[in-house]
């Protein structure tokens, strides 16, 4: 049925009202052909979004996921589409060269990860999603800082600052329990990095994370400033 439906779309105008996910799905996506992000109703629940939680928690959850999907418009795949959703190069040579270099550095970081003995994450295969995670965290954190500047800082909640709660919330949404076989399959077939790495690797590249938790050289999550990657 799906194959037949795809064939029927050939040589016809793109239907930009079509959804790629059902409303109850707990997920979100960016569609480069439509230049849109879609958030089904299913994702608007904890741990991604909680109307009873404070702003820092929601910025670190659904806010960063929104930023993630927007960043897909500027990852190694989505960046090839223009504002109208057409596959066309709109980059200058200089910008493309710098973007490619930063992407390569990020891919190298993830390729060093070994979730199981002898099993490594493919940094190139997962690059688009990793760019999305890093860009999403940075964008949402900027949003939180603007919110705190406008509305005021509520101070400690449960012993944590807003900045700390933001990063804890981000890590929380990627809590995962998986068998070794599932992890092996994910590394081979899924362009998303395993949840254990999505929780902390993007944060290792965010200066504000170091400030929030007073992370110093020698700490387990420390990366030297010159090796931190910031794309968006």
Residue-wise pLDDT for 111-157, tens only, equals: 999 999 999 999 999 999 999 999 999 999 999 999 999 999 999 99
d(CA 147, CA 59): 10
Answer for the pair 123, 106: CB distance below 8 angstroms, yes or no: yes
Has 142 been annotated as catalytic?
A: no
Strand ranges (DSSP E) for 16-89? 29-31, 36-38
Mean pLDDT of 103-110: 97
Q: Residue 155: left (phi > 0), alpha (psi -120 to 50), or beta? A: left
pTM value? Answer: 0.91
Closest CA to 213 of 166, 180, 173, 178: 166
Terminal-residue alpha carbon distance, the chain:
39
* 217 burial level (CB within 10 Å; 0-12, 13-18, 19+): exposed
Residue 13 binned pLDDT confidence (cut-offs 50, 70, 90): confident
Has 133 been annotated as catalytic?
A: yes
Q: Which of 75, 129, 133, 163 is catalytic?
A: 133
Up-side HSE of residue 111: CA atoms within 13 Å toward CB?
Answer: 11
Find out whether the peptide bond into 47 is cis, omega within 30 degrees of 0. yes
Q: Which of 6, 69, 114, 150 is catalytic?
A: 69
Residue 180 has pLDDT above 90, yes or no: yes
Answer for the pair 196, 176: CB distance below 8 angstroms, yes or no: yes
* Percent residues over pLDDT 70 in the chain: 100
pLDDT of residue 101: 96
pLDDT of residue 141: 99
pLDDT of residue 17: 82
d(CA 14, CA 201): 37
Per-residue pLDDT of 16-61, as tens digits, reads 788 888 999 999 999 998 899 999 999 999 999 999 999 999 999 9
Q: Which domains does the chain have, with CATH numbers?
A: 44-227 (3.40.390.10)
CA dist 56 → 30, 177, 201, 221 (Å)? 24, 25, 20, 22
d(CA 158, CA 165): 9
């Amino acid at each position: 049925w799906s194959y037949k439906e795809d064939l029927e779309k050939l040589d016809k105008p793109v239907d930009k009202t079509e959804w790629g996910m059902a409303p109850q799905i707990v997920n979100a996506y960016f569609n480069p052909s439509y230049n849109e992000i879609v958030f089904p109703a299913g994702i608007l629940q904890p741990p991604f979004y909680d109307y009873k939680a404070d702003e820092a928690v929601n910025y670190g959850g659904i806010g960063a996921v929104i930023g993630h999907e927007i960043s897909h418009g500027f990852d190694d795949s989505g960046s090839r589409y223009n504002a109208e959703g057409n596959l066309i190069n709109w980059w200058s040579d200089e910008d493309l060269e710098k973007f490619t270099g930063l992407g390569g550095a990020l891919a190298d970081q993830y390729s060093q990860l070994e979730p199981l003995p002898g099993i490594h994450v493919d940094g190139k295969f997962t690059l688009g999603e990793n760019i999305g995670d890093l860009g999403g965290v940075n964008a949402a954190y900027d949003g939180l800082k603007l919110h705190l500047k406008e509305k005021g800082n509520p101070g400690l909640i449960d012993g944590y600052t807003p900045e700390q709660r933001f990063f804890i919330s981000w890590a929380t949404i990627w809590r995962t329990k998986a068998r070794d076989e599932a992890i092996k399959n994910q590394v081979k077939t899924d362009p998303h990095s395993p949840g254990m790495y999505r929780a902390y690797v993007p944060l290792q590249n965010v200066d504000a994370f170091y400030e929030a938790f007073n992370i110093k050289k020698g700490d387990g999550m420390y990366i030297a400033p010159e090796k931190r990657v910031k794309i968006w």
